[in-house]
Structure 1
Amino acid sequence: MDFCAIDFETATHERSSACELGVCIVQDSKIVETKTWLIKPPSFPYFNKFNVAVHGILPEDVKESPTFDEIWYEVEEMMYGTLMIAHNASFDAGVLRGCLDYYGLFTPSINYLCSIQLAKKSWNYLPKYGLKHLAEYHQIHFNHHRAGDDAEACAKISLLAFEKLFLNSNEEVSENMKTKIKKL
């Protein structure tokens, strides 16, 4: 299995307001790297108090950080050619699209899968499928709502789901989950 798990935190309700991005790279079913970037969003210095209450990232935390367009080429290189997985992927894919659009960057052809859908298929008896609940169920400890930790927890849960579904390759995932895989 080769994929990247991603997670965004945002400063406001705007999809282009990424203030943190985490990317976890999985190669041969093993986590090989997790990287996190604090990002200065277009709304800087404004951060919505609700968003801050969720992730705890403050404007002063990102005042010296790069903007999304300044990190995108490194991020894109890490993600190149792999399946992207995110927990509640429609949100993270929307933020990625919002940031790319805001900065006028080319949108790459990326297939993505939601780990919630994967978890529902793997553990259809659970009462909840939030990242925190699934992590507790699988005894995965992480700092919730921090992008790198969330991306890594998503990767670990996805690997456990693939194992439970007896999916051993990207081709098997594509075939088994074809109705759930979307294009960015």
Structure 2
Amino acid sequence: MKYIALDFETAYWGPANACSLGIVTSDGHEVIDEWYHLIHPLSLNFDEGCSKINGIYPEDVIDEDEFPYFWKDIAMRLEGGIVFAHNARFDMGVLASAIDTYQLPDIHFRYGDTVVLSRKLWADLPNHKLNTVAEELGFTFNHHQELDDARACEYIVRSAIEKTGAPDAEALMKMTGQQLKRFAIKRGAKRLLAP
């Protein structure tokens, strides 16, 4: 059994806006690999609201490398895997935007969303935000710190596997009435200039 959890934080609403990324790989019992880095986004014109949430500002990333520099490390961890994110549509959109903007090679993996998974298995919670679900499951972490968020997402999947008795992450998705989605990039989309 092996699956990956990831979390992006963003600098603004626009193309190639990732300013940090955390990736956690699990064997279903424990974390076996972690990767984290701050990223220089396409623009340093940060949105105040984004910075207020994630605590990352232009001065934090000004000396960091842009996304393509980290691509080999990222792709190696995700290629062919089963990936989870909390509100996966957002994180997959950030990843696709970076790949398209910098014209990086395609990557192939399937993914699931721990928001949907949490709603299925812990329906009685007041909401299904990452911090609410993780804390209900006994996981303490620093919310909106990307590596910690990825760890929390991994823990939700692990807890779901334990709760259902699923033999692996793919079976977990089937047992909870979900399908893993294939990651896809819309190439040639109208590229906007960074703000």
Which amino acid in structure 2 is aligned with residue 9 of structure 1?
A: E
The amino acid that maps onto 1:60 is E
Deviations 1:22-75 (A, max 9, x none): 00011253211222110000012x110000000010111111111111101111
Rounded Cα–Cα distance in structure 1 between residues aligned with 2:110 and 2:170: 13
Q: Structure 1: which 5+ runs fail to align?
A: none
Q: Which residue of structure 2 lines up, in the alignment, with residue 53 of structure 1?
A: 52
**Aligned counterparts, 1:74-113, within 5 A:** 74-113=73-112
After TM superposition, the score normalised by the length of structure 1 is 0.93
1:22 partnered with 2:31: no
Cα distance change of structure 1 residues 177 and 123 upon mapping to structure 2, 3 Å threshold: closer
Q: Which runs of 4+ in 1 moved over 2 A?
A: 173-180
After superposition, the Cα gap between the structure-2 partners of 1:99 and 1:24, relative to the gap in structure 1 and judged at 3 Å, is: same
User: 3-state SS of the aligned residue for 1:52?
Assistant: helix
Counterpart CA distance in 2 for 1:60 and 1:91 is 25
Q: TM-score w.r.t. structure 2 length? A: 0.88
Could you say what secondary structure the match of 1:161 adopts?
helix
- SS, match of residue 52 in structure 2: helix
State which drifts further: 90-99 or 74-83: 74-83
| Distance in 1 (alpha carbons) for counterparts of 2:134 and 2:114 | 12
Question: Which is further off, 161-170 or 100-109?
Answer: 161-170
Q: Percent identity?
A: 33
For structure 2, which runs of at least 5 residues remain unmatched after alignment? 184-195
SS in 1 for 2:4: strand
- Residues 128-143 of structure 1: matches in 2 within 5 Å? 128-143=127-142
Q: CA RMSD in A?
A: 1.5
Report how far residue 176 of structure 1 moved: 2.9
Give the partner amino acid of 1:39: I
Q: Say whether the 8 Å CA contact 1:2–1:29 is kept in structure 2.
A: no
Q: Report how far residue 121 of structure 1 moved.
A: 1.5
